[in-house]
Homo-oligomer: A and B are copies of this chain.
Amino acid sequence: VSRVLVTGAEGFVGRRLVQRLAATGAHALTLVDRALPAAREEARRIQGDIADTAVLAAAIEAPPDLVFHLASLPGGAAEADPKASRRVNLDATLNLFEAAADTGRRARVVYASSIAVFGAPLPPAVDDYTPAEPTLTYGAHKRIGEIALADWSRRGVLDGISLRLPGIVARPRQGAGFRSAFMSEIFHALAAGETYELPVGPDATVWAMSLSRCVENLLHAGLMTTPGEGRALTLPAVRARMDALVAAIAAEAGVSHDLVNYAPDAALQAQFGSQPPLSTPAAEALGFRHDGGLEALVQAVLDDPDVRHKEPHP
């Protein structure tokens, strides 16, 4: 049994990851989040903000062998409140890494980074050599976390791996703070047979990954025997044009794609809907995977009980 710490355990990704970890029974779990409403699984539960030093001390008290650091202030909220982003996405992140390093256990640390480390506009193609030049506060702070984790890993006191996540779909509706929310909203709207106005054009292109695939990749990063060695890996993702994504969702949901209206916001499309061809051989060589294709992605998302069986949005 290894000791596993999950921050942001009650978040969109965290909740599903914890379910999967708990199902294996092989881990002593410590869960941290600002709200931990119900004890769904056997775990040490620490309710509070990871940016609070007492919460961090409690989280690390039983030194973990494996840390999934998912807690973060999302991109839109970070842009609106850079001081809060510094506190959570930068200072608390580095404090957590340093505290884990100080335990002397050389813990595997899986850090949920983001494609936001690449600024906008993106180059004509993105690959493992594309420099990380963030252009939003969220991406800047994520990149700082990657650099710090790589340095502690190089020093041999952590075994870190940063995963640059693409758009994970479908986040719950009204998931505040993500300006890229349209990528999730489109699934919820069509699954519920509602109209939806997309803030990008049919020619917009996005990198996407289903929640279930994201969780499998996180688990792989945590449990693979290859050392993390501080790598910052851009994960493979399905790249889709927005009109093709709409058509695939509509077909799978059994509704008309005419429910969707395009009202492009040029600035938003430039930031979140202009994702070029993506090549990720480093991550693939280590066993990380995308959903397999557009239809597989859409099916994985619509098969998700949190999407398919959700009550229609009022």
B-side contacts of A132, CB under 8 Å:
131
Copies of this protein chain in the complex: 2
Query: Within 8 Å CB of A90, what residues of B?
Result: 94
User: What DSSP secondary structure best describes chain A's contact surface?
Assistant: helix
> Shortest beta-carbon distance, A75 to chain B, in Å?
13
Distance in angstroms between the alpha carbons of A144 and B143 in the assembled complex: 8
Question: Does A300 touch B at the CB level, under 8 Å?
Answer: no
The yes or no answer to A98 lying at the interface (CB within 8 A) is: yes
Contact of A148 among B94, B144, B152 (CB under 8 A): B144
Smallest CB gap from A137: residue in B: B151
One of B83, B91, B131 near A131 (C-beta < 8 A): B131
Point out the residue from B137, B151, B152 that lies within 8 Å of A134, measured CB to CB.
B151
Question: Which of these, B82, B131, B151, contacts A140 with CB under 8 Å?
Answer: B151
Question: Closest CB-CB distance, A99 to chain B, in whole Å?
Answer: 12
Report if A86 contacts B (CB, 8 A): yes
What's the Cα separation between A151 and B134 when bound, in Å? 8
CB closest residue in chain B, given A83: B98
The answer to whether A140 and B150 touch (CB under 8 A), given A86-B94, A94-B86, is: yes
Q: Which of B83, B134, B150, B154 contacts A147 (CB 8 A)?
A: B134
Q: A246 to B107, alpha carbons, bound, how many Å?
A: 47
Question: How far does the alpha carbon of A129 sit from the alpha carbon of B144 in the complex, in Å?
Answer: 19
Question: Which residues of chain A from 93 to 140 have any CB-CB distance to chain B below 8 Å in the complex?
Answer: 94, 98, 129, 131-132, 134-135, 137, 140
Contacts of A148 in B (CB 8 A): 140, 144
A residues 143-200 in Cβ contact with B at 8 Å: 143-144, 147-148, 150-152, 154-155
Q: Given known contacts A135-B154, A140-B150, what 6 new A-B pairs fall within 8 Å (CB)? A: A82-B155, A86-B94, A129-B131, A131-B131, A143-B147, A147-B147
Query: Using a CB–CB distance below 8 Å, which chain A residues touch chain B?
Result: 82-83, 86, 90-91, 94, 98, 129, 131-132, 134-135, 137, 140, 143-144, 147-148, 150-152, 154-155
